[in-house]
Amino acid sequence: MSVNPRTPEEINRKLYPRTGLYRALAEGTEIGEEEKRFYREQGFLGVQGFLTTEEIRNAVQALAEHIDSDETKVKVQFTKPKSELSSRGERELAVRKVYDFVEEEERLRAIACKPMLLEAVEKLLGAKPKLVQDMALLKPPFGGGEKPWHQDMAYGPLAFDKPVIGVWLALDEADEDNGCMQVIPRSHMDGGVPHYAVRDWQICDANVPVERNLAVPLKPGGALFFHGLLTHGTAHNFSARRRRALQFHYAPEGAEKLHPPEYKRLFTNEMTGAEC
């Protein structure tokens, strides 16, 4: 497949075609053998209703407070210089990511450590989980940016010698129009694949079987559990609606970071020298 998108509109059209929807399981669904089998085979599982209305409200308020503060110890990634942002609303709409907050923010830490969430993670992971990454991903309306197709374990903080699991929690309704998660089912079975520095640290556009992609719409509070080697991404948000989400990663207790030579072998073009 020849893919060379230049504009955000072309990226959405060519790399995130509307080929199918995955319907998340209903709120209150117990994760049993059938759900675990689906996760092992497909690399992901969605369940609605993992957060309460109060937890969503607390999370949104906590994020807003840290974005607005110049004294916060939480890390905030802006898409524009803060000197150009004159109001609280402008600041929030210019944030791409808020991260490393669990040690500083009790309301968000409570979600990352929520017993119901950890129980589900343990069932799917098949081991006791340890939290290894926390972040909030914000996609503002009218042009919130793409996150290109990638595997999370290709990012250094998540490059462990055992599979990690990601949990993506919608704080707003997330659908194809405002940048919900999109996944390539069963792609985790391919193992680690090379990533390239193009628009981000990503899988080469031409190497992603986008004709197989599934969008995963979620209601506020819905959760997507996904394997650390699952190919996934999110399109540009051209809608008038914002899309905010929390994302946590858990590794099995006892997992260790990959040594640099093994990381290079799995996730770079070290073996082939090929360019994207």
Q: How far apart are CA 24 and CA 270, in angstroms?
A: 38
Q: Which amino acid is at 234?
A: T
Query: What mean pLDDT, rounded, does the chain reach?
Result: 95
Q: Which pLDDT score is estimated for 267?
A: 97
Residues 6+ apart with CB under 8 A from 141: 93, 178, 237, 239, 240, 241, 242
Reported as a single tens digit per residue, the pLDDT across 6-43 is: 899 999 999 999 999 999 999 999 999 999 999 999 99
Reported as a single tens digit per residue, the pLDDT across 140-190 is: 999 899 999 999 999 999 999 999 999 999 999 999 999 999 999 999 999
Per-domain residue ranges of the chain: 8-267
Q: What is the arithmetic mean of pLDDT over 114-136? A: 98
pLDDT band at 1 (very low <50, low <70, confident <90, very high): very low
- % the chain with pLDDT above 70: 99
Q: What is the arithmetic mean of pLDDT over 76-87? A: 81
Q: What is the arithmetic mean of pLDDT over 99-115? A: 97
Which H or E run contains 41? Answer: helix 33-42
Fold type of domain 8-267:
Jelly Rolls (2.60.120)
Q: How far apart are CA 267 and CA 260, in angstroms?
A: 10
Instruction: Check pLDDT > 50 for residue 66.
Output: yes
Provide the whole-model pTM.
Answer: 0.95
